């Protein structure tokens, strides 16, 4: 890794808060320790962490820096930061590579991924050297983001996804999703071990790593999909698939409730899956061109399930869920088998050990013990809480404790919440975000607000929005605009969204964000109680409040911003909950309109 000019460091992290953050990252990298940083949103954490780690590369002989994110928006910010740090092309360029998921990089998703079917896979290794050389040369002058890699790949008629994988060996900084380093078969982790690289790892918005890692180390198999596959499978696979079916049906005979957790995965089922995987692998090798996508998908799912079963322990649950509807035609039961990871720490610990330094940063990494327990952070992990550059006077935080957003009370909450939003909007017009626990809840409140305030522009998040629709949703938050955007807490607009100044003047959070009370979460609570002794808080309270703080963090993005946040639920008044809110907030109890409305307006006007 090359040396970097000191003047770039000074311009990249010019504020007090950014310097404090940068110094913490630099010290951790220099001492080879893991670091957990809790720092407010909107202070430039991306540049403030990336550059000091690059600055430490010469003294620590780091070969690579991995910047890992949970979302596309995080990758975009990291690439922009890398461009700003690298500056114009020079004799010592910074080669930056963006890794993209296969389904987003694939040029021929309708074709099987091998040389017999895809023209970009056919002869790939023959054309790879020229494509790689062109990409490395281009990387000396520009960032090898998704578009740049695709352009080079298509010019040389090779697969963009696999070209990107190859270029990881020649990059100084690799920007990609968490799974490229933390997943069980992670490419970057594998390359690090194989090449004995010394790497520095940055984990952006690290509060997301708990849930993401749970997904990486969980596996599921669905009976309807398996039944369809078995019916269409070639005759040579019928016997082994019938064996899986018998073992699966044997579980149904023991099932007395719609949901049931078992002490461990049954040996009979695992043995049947292993036999089926071996037979399918042989079939795929013999007839690659005739393979159905469903057969290949089941093969990979069965292998993943078997691998996780081998490491099954108190960190995970094996459960069977009978799907709604009970029986299919012919009396066959529909069910879901799941190896469900609850505590990812045992799987993540080797990843932390393989890196010279790991810095995890987020606005919500409290309580510290929760993240240490769940992620398996090393005992000598340094923790830094960066003081907020924001003042309490910038943000009026109101606790609306006369409204309950609990599920049984939601119907009665619609009119009061709509009245609250209408009163605030009429008193202080501008752009607001309103967050709810579900799409159904937000639609009902949005409908009530339209009746209460017909002239107020209202737009809603919908399920499965694509990237264009998300951009259109955010485009309505312009500086001279007015209206209310309705969104789901924990969704695409609750974090990683930057709407400074008058683009967003306030937020309404009408939920504590607690996960649903259902058999799965209750079983997870029992698992956490047995392993860590903190079942309720670790399952419900801490994950919920983390979402609330992230959503409210959309309002104040710069030291000049002013705004208001309404926390709507009586539980926000509880001292246990209040202690989990940012220290610089000074929440006050909301008094009902009209006195409350005037107070809220006066608070925002004073600071504007």
Average pLDDT over every residue of 101-118: 85
Task: Specify which residues 38 forms β-bridges with.
Answer: 362, 385
Average pLDDT, the chain: 89
In this prediction, residue 5 carries a pLDDT of: 42
Distance CA 441, CA 407 (A): 10
Residue 438: DSSP 8-state = S
Average pLDDT over every residue of 282-308: 85
The answer to which of 231-245, 248-262, 302-316, 493-507 has the lowest mean pLDDT is 248-262
Give whole-number Cα distances, 417 to 74, 413, 440, 445, 453, in Å. 32, 6, 15, 7, 12
- List the one residue out of 329, 333, 332 whose CA is nearest residue 258: 333
At 323, the pLDDT band (50, 70, 90 cuts) reads: confident
Percent of the chain having pLDDT more than 70?
Answer: 92
Q: Does domain 218-341 have CATH number 1.20.120?
A: no
Which of 113 and 583 is assigned the larger pLDDT?
583
**Does the structure show a pLDDT above 80 at 92?**
no
| 593 touches 425 (CB < 8 A) | no
Say if residue 346 is preceded by a cis peptide, omega within 30 of 0.
Answer: no
Average pLDDT over every residue of 156-180: 95
In this prediction, residue 331 carries a pLDDT of: 52
Residue ranges in 430-518 assigned as alpha helix (H):
439-452, 467-475
At 278, the pLDDT band (50, 70, 90 cuts) reads: very high
The answer to whether 1-70+178-216+344-387 and 218-341 have equal CATH topology is: no
Give the three-class secondary structure for 403.
coil
In this prediction, residue 422 carries a pLDDT of: 96
- List the one residue out of 351, 328, 323 whose CA is nearest residue 338: 323
- List the one residue out of 507, 525, 509, 488 whose CA is nearest residue 577: 509
In this prediction, residue 598 carries a pLDDT of: 39
**Does the structure show a pLDDT above 70 at 286?**
yes
Which tokens belong to 578? 């209040």
Say if residue 594 is preceded by a cis peptide, omega within 30 of 0.
Answer: yes
Domain residue extents for the chain: 1-70+178-216+344-387, 103-170, 218-341, 392-607
Which tokens belong to 458? 């209202």
- Helix and strand element counts for the chain (H, E): 25, 18
Distance CA 525, CA 527 (A): 5
Crossing angle of helices 345-354 and 187-195, in 10° steps, is: 40
The answer to which of 122-136, 328-342, 541-555 has the lowest mean pLDDT is 328-342
Task: Specify which residues 222 forms β-bridges with.
Answer: 336
In this prediction, residue 12 carries a pLDDT of: 44
| Structure confidence by residue, pLDDT tens digits, 366-384 | 999 999 999 999 999 999 9
Distance CA 171, CA 97 (A): 6
Average pLDDT over every residue of 532-556: 95
**Does the structure show a pLDDT above 80 at 292?**
no
CATH superfamily of 392-607: P-loop containing nucleotide triphosphate hydrolases (3.40.50.300)
- CB < 8 Å & 24+ apart, contacts of 450-457: 451/418, 452/415, 452/418, 452/419, 452/422, 453/418, 453/421, 453/422, 453/425, 453/426, 456/422, 456/425, 456/482, 456/483, 456/484, 457/481, 457/482, 457/483, 457/484
| 52 touches 22 (CB < 8 A) | yes
In this prediction, residue 290 carries a pLDDT of: 64
| 183 touches 136 (CB < 8 A) | no
N-term to C-term CA, the chain: 47
Dihedral of CA 147/149/155/158: which sign?
A: negative
In this prediction, residue 257 carries a pLDDT of: 86
Q: Tokens 């504590």 — which residue?
A: 512
Distance CA 209, CA 341 (A): 13
At 289, the pLDDT band (50, 70, 90 cuts) reads: low
| Structure confidence by residue, pLDDT tens digits, 557-607 | 888 899 999 999 999 999 999 999 999 999 999 986 544 443 444 334 333
Which tokens belong to 440? 């159904």
| 223 touches 334 (CB < 8 A) | yes
Distance CA 606, CA 414 (A): 30
| Structure confidence by residue, pLDDT tens digits, 217-264 | 999 999 999 999 999 889 999 999 999 999 999 988 878 789 999 999
CATH of 1-70+178-216+344-387, one of 3.40.50.720, 3.40.50.300, 3.30.413.10, 3.40.920.10: 3.40.50.300
pTM: 0.89
Residue 264: DSSP 8-state = S
Give the three-class secondary structure for 255.
coil
| Structure confidence by residue, pLDDT tens digits, 5-51 | 443 444 444 467 778 888 999 999 999 999 999 988 777 788 889 98
């Amino acid at each position: 890794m090359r040396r970097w000019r000191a003047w770039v460091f000074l311009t990249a992290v010019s504020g007090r808060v950014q310097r404090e953050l940068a110094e913490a990252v630099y010290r951790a990298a220099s001492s080879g320790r893991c670091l957990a940083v809790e720092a407010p949103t909107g202070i430039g954490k991306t540049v403030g962490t990336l550059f000091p780690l690059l600055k430490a590369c010469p003294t620590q002989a780091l070969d690579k820096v991995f910047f890992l994110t949970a979302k596309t928006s995080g990758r975009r910010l990291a690439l922009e930061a890398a461009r700003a740090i690298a500056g114009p092309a020079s004799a010592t360029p910074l080669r930056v590579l963006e890794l993209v998921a296969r389904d987003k990089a694939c040029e021929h998703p309708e074709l099987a991924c091998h040389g017999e079917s895809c023209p970009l896979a056919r002869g790939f290794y023959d054309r790879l050297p020229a494509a790689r050389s062109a990409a490395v040369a281009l990387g000396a002058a520009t960032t090898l983001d998704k578009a740049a890699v695709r352009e080079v790949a298509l010019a040389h008629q090779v697969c963009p996804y696999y070209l990107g994988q190859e270029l990881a060996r020649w990059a100084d900084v690799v920007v990609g999703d968490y799974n490229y380093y933390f997943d069980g078969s992670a490419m970057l982790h594998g390359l690090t071990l194989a090449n004995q690289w010394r790497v520095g790892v940055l984990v952006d918005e690290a509060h997301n790593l708990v849930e993401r890692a749970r997904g990486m180390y969980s596996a599921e198999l669905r009976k309807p999909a398996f039944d369809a596959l078995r019916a269409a499978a070639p005759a040579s696979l019928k016997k082994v698939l019938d064996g899986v079916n018998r073992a699966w049906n044997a579980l149904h005979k023991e099932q007395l409730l719609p949901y049931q957790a078992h002490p461990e995965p049954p040996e009979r089922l695992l043995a049947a899956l292993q036999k089926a995987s071996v037979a399918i692998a042989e079939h795929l090798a013999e007839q690659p061109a005739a393979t159905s996508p469903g057969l290949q998908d089941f093969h990979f799912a069965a292998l993943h399930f078997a691998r996780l079963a081998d490491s099954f322990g108190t960190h995970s649950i094996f459960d069977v869920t009978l799907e709604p509807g009970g029986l299919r035609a012919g009396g066959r039961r529909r069910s879901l088998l799941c190896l469900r990871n609850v505590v990812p720490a045992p799987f993540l610990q080797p990843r932390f050990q393989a890196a010279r330094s790991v810095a995890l940063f987020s606005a919500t990494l409290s309580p510290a013990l929760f993240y240490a327990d769940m992620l398996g952070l090393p005992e000598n992990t340094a923790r830094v809480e960066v003081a907020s550059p924001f003042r309490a006077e910038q943000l009026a935080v109101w606790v609306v404790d006369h409204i309950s957003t609990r599920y049984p009370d939601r119907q009665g909450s619609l009119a009061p919440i709509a009245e609250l939003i209408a009163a605030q909007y009429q008193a202080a017009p501008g752009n607001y975000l309103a967050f709810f626990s579900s799409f159904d809840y937000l639609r009902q409140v949005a409908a009530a607000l339209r009746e209460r305030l017909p002239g107020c522009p209202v737009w809603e998040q919908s399920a499965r929005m694509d990237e264009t629709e998300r951009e259109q949703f955010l485009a309505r938050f312009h500086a001279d605009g007015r209206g209310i955007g309705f969104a789901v807490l924990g969704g695409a607009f609750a974090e990683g969204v930057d709407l400074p100044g008058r683009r967003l003047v306030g937020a309404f959070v009408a939920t504590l964000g607690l996960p649903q009370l259902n058999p799965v979460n209750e079983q997870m609570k029992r698992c956490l109680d047995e392993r860590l002794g903190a079942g309720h808080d670790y399952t419900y309270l801490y994950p919920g409040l983390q979402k609330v703080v992230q959503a409210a963090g959309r309002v104040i993005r710069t030291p000049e911003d002013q705004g208001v946040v309404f926390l709507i639920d009586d539980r926000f008044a509880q001292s246990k909950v209040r202690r989990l809110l940012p220290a610089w907030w000074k929440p006050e109890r909301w008094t009902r309109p009209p006195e409350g409305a005037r107070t809220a307006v006066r608070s925002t006007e004073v600071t504007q």
